[in-house]
A = this chain, B = another copy of it.
Amino acid sequence: MAFFNHLSPRYNPVKRTIAYLFAAVLSLTAVAQQALWGFNETVSPDVAPDGTVTLRLKAPDASAVEVTGDFLPKREVDTPAGKALVRGIASMSRDSSGMWSFTSTPLAPELYQYWFVVDGVSTPDPSNVFKIRDTNTLTDVFMVGGGPDSLYAVANVPHGTVSKVWYPSSLPGGQRRMTVYTPAGYESGNDRYPVLYLLHGMGGDENAWSELGRATQILDNLIAAGKAEPMILVMPNGNPAMQGAPGETPLGFTQPTIRLPMTMDGSYEAAFPEIVAFVDSTYRTKAEKASRAVAGLSMGGFHSKNLSLQYPDLFDYIGLFSAAYEPRGGQDSEIFQNTDAKLDRQFAQAPELYYIAIGRDDFLYDLNKEWRRTLDSKGYPYVYIESEDGHIWKNWRNYLSDFLPRLFHGKQNK
């Protein structure tokens, strides 16, 4: 019986373990009301040394169980707007005990996302405690190897500190939340460090780059290998309608939605100097253009472009990863006025690195091409990276891994 199964110590190995642990001191009758939940008896995901992953779900009464994930081959489907490549989906097989399973082909080192579809219902993997929220969706995750070049792994290297910090803001709410990475040695030393401001996409938040982005592991590993300068990473929240990530503000555990207001209307860029001022006054920074970078993905690329345009004295290193370009609202904002003259002004005191990266399948590909044409027409130099795939985290992690070693070494543009 399911009811008995997950409540009784007798039939549940986890509960049995607990019962054993306390055997000398407890009467079994009381265990089940204690803070010992434990329903995780199935091994899923199960990553083998050859890079195959087996996913499992015990569901004896289900008629059909499928898995959808970014590790499955994409499929072409018809949509009202024509053919589209969509994330793959695979049937899982049932054994006689009611255990459904699926084993992949060997996968490249990467962080992957998936979920199950049980009789048509999207279902998180109940056996996997590792889930990451992106925007309004929680997906199950697993990692093959340590990701590309093992950069996503927590290696046995010195680790930076990752902090959740509130700063005073002129935006609604009066205080806002950011994630700050200080490199290993920061707390015990007196050195000053350069700063990368790393911005998330629309609907993301100050947790996005450190969770799905693996930014702190990537930077730990690059610094330890001598491939990136020790630096401070500042990951603010780029949505002025929110003080911080879902669950971390006075809104409490309100389920997140994609929010429209005020994310790309110039208000964030207008208020951004308060972030730089807070960081320069709170941390031991090198408070100068040559030691500041700004980069972001999608909406964060849009912000990075605008910030570097608006404040030409702030940042010498600029990264646009799958950047968006079109404002939404805020037509009257100072941020969007005289952009042509601002661009000339920016490149008159040319940044050391202006980095544009985009995937060939990205829906923002054409807008990025247009922006490159603008730069080309004026003869302004930049570094351009074109990758496979589209508007996905795999690309953004790769762009970051490629971008970080270029920072704070002087001129990078060709």
Contacts and interface: CB of A to CB of B under 8 A. Distances in A.
Interface residues on A, range: 35 or more
Contacts of A26: 363-364
A40 B153 CA distance: 30
Interface stretch (A233-241, A336-344, A346-354, A389-397): A389-397
Listed from nearest, the 3 A-B pairs whose CB atoms lie closest are A2-B120, A28-B81, A34-B391
A135 B120 CA distance: 31
Nearest to A22: B363
Given A161-B164, A250-B153, A363 B31 contact: yes
A175 B220 CA distance: 14
B129 A84 contact: no
Given A80-B28, A138-B129, A390 B34 contact: yes
Nearest to A19: B81
A39 B137 contact: yes
Contacts of A24: 326
A277 interface: no
Contacts of A166: 158-159, 161, 184
Given A27-B363, A164-B161, A364-B25, A79 B120 contact: no
A139 B28 contact: no
Interface in A1-60: 1-10, 14, 17-18, 21-22, 24-40, 43, 45, 57-60
B136 A40 contact: yes
B255 A127 contact: yes
Q: Which of A35, A117, A133 has the largest number of chain B CB atoms within 10 A?
A: A35
Interface in A219-241: none
Contact of A84 (B17, B31, B59, B136): B31
Q: Which of A77, A143, A255 has the largest number of chain B CB atoms within 10 A?
A: A255
A195 interface: no
A256 interface: yes
Contacts of A38: 135-137
A398 interface: no
Interface string A172-193: 0111010000001001100000
A74 interface: yes
Q: Which of A32, A85, A87, A122 has the largest number of chain B CB atoms within 10 A?
A: A122
A255 B29 contact: no
A96 interface: no
Interface string A142-170: 11001000000111101101111110000
Given A2-B120, A25-B367, A118-B118, 4 more contacts: A14-B136, A24-B326, A40-B255, A61-B121
Contacts of A165: 161, 187
A126 B129 contact: no
A85 B29 CA distance: 7
Contacts of A174: 156
A362 to B, nearest CB: 8
Interface string A260-303: 10000000000000000000011000000000000000000000
Contacts of A4: 77
Given A60-B120, A136-B40, A391-B35, A29 B256 contact: no
A414 interface: no
A1 to B, nearest CB: 8
Nearest to A255: B129
Contacts of A86: 7, 32-33
A249 interface: yes
Contacts of A129: 133, 136-138, 246-247, 255-256
Contacts of A74: 33
A125 to B, nearest CB: 8
